[in-house]
Amino acid sequence: MIEQMNPQVPMTPEPRRPIPPAPIHPLAALATIVLDNVFGVVELVDPLALLLTSLGVGVLGTVTTMLLQRYLARESWGASVAKGLVMGIIAGVPFQVTGTAIGIPLLAWAGLHEWVKLQPSKTKTGQPVPIDEVVDAEIVEAVIVDAEAKDVNE
C-alpha cells in the first residue's frame, strides 16, 4: 500500500559531459598568462635583472596557483601544491611564450567546459510540466480568497 502512495521512480544516471573539467582553476590559468607577460618589460629595461625577475615570478605563480586551487577549486593541499609548482615553473621561464602557450589552452578548456555545462537540459519523459501545478494552485488559492471575501462581506 505504501508503494502505491509513493511510487519508486527509477534513477537515471547523470549524462556524461563531452568536455571534462580543466585540471586547474580558470583564474590560475589567467594568473599564469599575466605573470608570463612581466618578462617583456624586464627584458627591455635590464637583462641582468632577468634572473631575479624569473625567480620572483615563479614564486608568485606558485603561491597564486596553489591558493586558488586550494580555496576556490577546493582541492587538497597536496594537489594544490603540485599544480602550483608546475604553473609557477611554467610562469617563471624567462620567455613570454611559455606561460601564454600553456595558460591560453587551459583557460579555453575551462571556458568550454562551463559553456557546455550551461546548455539547457532536456526534460525527462513522464514528468509533469510544473506550470500545470502552478496554475492549479493559483486557481485553488483564488477560490479560497474569493470564499473568504464573501464571508467578510456578509
Residue with cell 602550483: 84
DSSP per-residue letters across 105-134: HHHHHHHHHHHHHTSPPPPPTTPPPHHHHH
User: For 2-16, 29-43, 62-76, 85-99, which range has the lowest pLDDT when averaged over its residues?
Assistant: 2-16
Residues 65 and 83 sit within 8 Å (Cβ to Cβ): yes
CB neighbourhood size of 77 (10 A): 11
Q: What is the pLDDT of residue 40?
A: 77
**How far apart are the two ends of the chain, measured CA to CA in Å?**
45
Average pLDDT over residues 48-60: 89
Residue 135: pLDDT band with limits 50, 70, 90? low
Domain ranges of the chain: 26-117
> Is residue 73's pLDDT more than 70?
yes
**Distance between CA atoms of 117 and 136, rounded to whole angstroms?**
33
Task: Kindly report which listed range (15-19, 44-48, 85-89, 92-96) carries the lowest average pLDDT score.
Answer: 15-19
Contact 111, 101 (CB under 8 A): no
Cell numbers for 54: 624569473
pLDDT at 18: 77
If pLDDT is split at 50, 70 and 90, which confidence band does 123 have? low
Over the chain, what is the mean pLDDT? 78
- The whole-number average pLDDT for the span 22-44 is 86
Cell 591560453 found at: 104
pLDDT tens-digit readout, 12-27: 555 566 778 889 999 9
CB atoms within 10 A of CB 63: 13
